[in-house]
Structure 1
């Protein structure tokens, strides 16, 4: 199964914006798909979001800015790696308000304001500035965008009226500060990494997925980015699997095999296929549940370290170990 590589800008939707443009189905190395009309000609199934995750030697930082037509779902999370203390604020705002999402990736700012949290995403020279503020904690980080750095952009077609455009951007060098209860910690350059999930689409109501990502350097000093997914793309012909090596994307077209048991999440996970043989060893499970009648979700996002090997199409085998990241299992009714 080899999905077509997109090399020229293309619109996600066709006609008046209600249906999928079949010419957009494929994958790209840069965010060249225009999904700005997703929410303009339909209502109820549209999902738009920006999720950023930043790993540092001392902390893990994350936030979500999203609009799902009938609600804004927002969250900020800060995790102290040494103590496993967390600082967190979440908001589900019905009807959605206080949220601005850029029409296209890196073509405008995104913001969120709700009781107890503030989030700002701004494009700046050399990258993207990420700011979040909650009670007793905040961070201000730039996810740098090195020249030539590639991202995995994929269009997933369930049908002509249900489809998703996702950009998974891993191994972005990060620099900045995080402040917790009045104490400032560095987000040190060369040791900190940012991951983005940019999503625009129209989803089925009941969906499950796996997603895994990791960022770091291997023993040879190469920048390694891991991007794997499962379940939600089954049967579509699209996959969101890839490895990034020194900024170059190696697309994995095969569906991968995930071997794990969320009930015993500390047991190492195995993700294999398409030249990848990876083991993920978790140390923390960020578990959450939401049940607001029509809107419900269950998430287990496990943080840990990736190790294993990846063999490129050219036959080069790259070994990696101790790559910090996460793997998750999610079930949404939304």
Structure 2
């Protein structure tokens, strides 16, 4: 089932010279083709979010510039018996020292990103996103609340001809978002917490990276769902990328499947069902018209964040767990999804 949305195949500027949305930028692409030449201050948001998962642990890195402040963070979760969770976040007033490029950070031809001191103390974090010939290098360093040194060093591969989803979501000429979501990227490396070393990649340690690259000018308040997963199932390498609520009424969606490196764009809004009072209950995500998605998501951990800091209020339930069910690609291939590791989240943001 082909999407009704316009596919972009040539490089394009996100904005016109006056800073409003370029109509020619509205659409989606299989590789990042937009240059986010944003102008203005106050409603402009930029971020790079990477999450790398294995069957036993995961790590997530965030670098963000929200105009009036930056929020940079390192998050690690070790699951199973003796589950452990670590998070280090740094708020930077006026986003001083944080500069994110107009294209995907650390990609070939783009700029590297480095934030924070080389040896962070006092709640600060160091995050590096750099281009290497073999892929994108992710490094991070911080002290946990228990003052354990936490260090990340991961290389995310760039498989040849591997496709991703980039899409512009237009609320209006003044409010719009460009997002580039990359799933099912193989990764190798390590996470050190104190004296303990956890590896990514290698035998029985499949590791998969997901990127959320965002650039846009946002309304003051917004609600969204986001779900993603990566791994091998039914003889295929599969990446799931789903969004909800924030795209309704715009004519754009951020829904796609990446199967063996080939993208299937899903143009319809998906039907998300979950319990706001009990996010750990099973979720369902379905494509009501096409039937291309019929999945149940079963969480095993909720990363719950509830903050109200004046200019910013955030309520996030990011649940990590497994997807089970079936999906169908554009060419009609039915794929059984069996416990694909990923997440689903419910977010309310005032910023």
Is structure 2 residue 210 aligned with structure 1 residue 195? yes
5 Å matches for 1:105-254? 105=104, 106=107, 107-113=110-116, 115-135=123-143, 136-189=149-202, 191-220=206-235, 222-254=236-268
Aligned to 1:57: 55
Q: Spell out, residue by residue over 1:67-105, the C-alpha distance to the aligned partner (whole angstroms, 9 max, x if none).
A: 011000111111111322112111222121132322311
1:84 aligns with 2:80: no
**Structure 2 unaligned regions, length at least 5:** 118-122, 144-148
Residue aligning to 2:325? 308
Q: Offset at 1:2?
A: 1.2
Distance 2:114 2:16 in 1: 28
Residue of structure 2 in register with 1:290 after alignment: 307
User: How many angstroms does 1:60 deviate by?
Assistant: 0.9
- Cα distance in 2 for partners of 1:123, 1:288 equals 31
8 Å Cα contact 1:3/1:27 also seen in 2: yes
Point out the more displaced range, 82-91 or 197-206: 82-91
Structure 2 match to 1:14: 16
Q: Deviations over 1:242-281 (max 9, x none)?
A: 0110000000000000011132222211000041101100
2:293 corresponds in structure 1 to 276
How many residues are paired up? Answer: 329
Q: Say if 1:65 and 1:111, in contact at 8 Å, map to a contact too.
A: no
8 A contact 1:242–1:250 mirrored in 2: yes
Structure 1 residue 117: Cα displacement: 1.1
Q: Is the 8 A contact 2:55 2:341 kept in 1?
A: no
SS of structure 1 residue aligned to 2:277: helix
Deviation at 1:15, TM superposition (A): 2.2
Detail structure 1 runs of 4+ shifted over 6 Å in the superposition. Answer: none
- In the alignment, structure 1 segments of 5+ residues that lack a partner are none
Cα contact 2:306–2:314 (8 A) shared by 1: yes
What is the aligned partner in structure 1 of residue 146 from structure 2?
none
Offset at 1:140? 0.4
The whole-number CA distance in structure 1 between the counterparts of 2:191 and 2:335 is: 33
Residue pair 2:302, 2:320 contacting (<8 A) in 1 also:
yes
The 10-residue stretch of structure 1 (73-82 or 25-34) with the greater mean CA deviation from structure 2 = 73-82
Q: What SS does structure 2 have at the residue aligned with 1:23?
A: helix
CA distance in 2 between counterparts of 1:313 and 1:150 reads 14
Q: CA deviation at 1:183?
A: 1.7
- What is the alpha-carbon distance in structure 2 between the residues aligned to residue 313 and residue 212 of structure 1? 20
Partner of 1:67: 65
Partners of 1:210 and 1:288 in 2: how far apart? 15
Measured in 2, the distance between the counterparts of 1:265 and 1:151 equals 28
The C-alpha deviation readout for 1:12-59, integer Å capped at 9, x for no partner, is 00123x100000100000000111x21xx3110000000000102331
Deviation at 1:63, TM superposition (A): 1.2
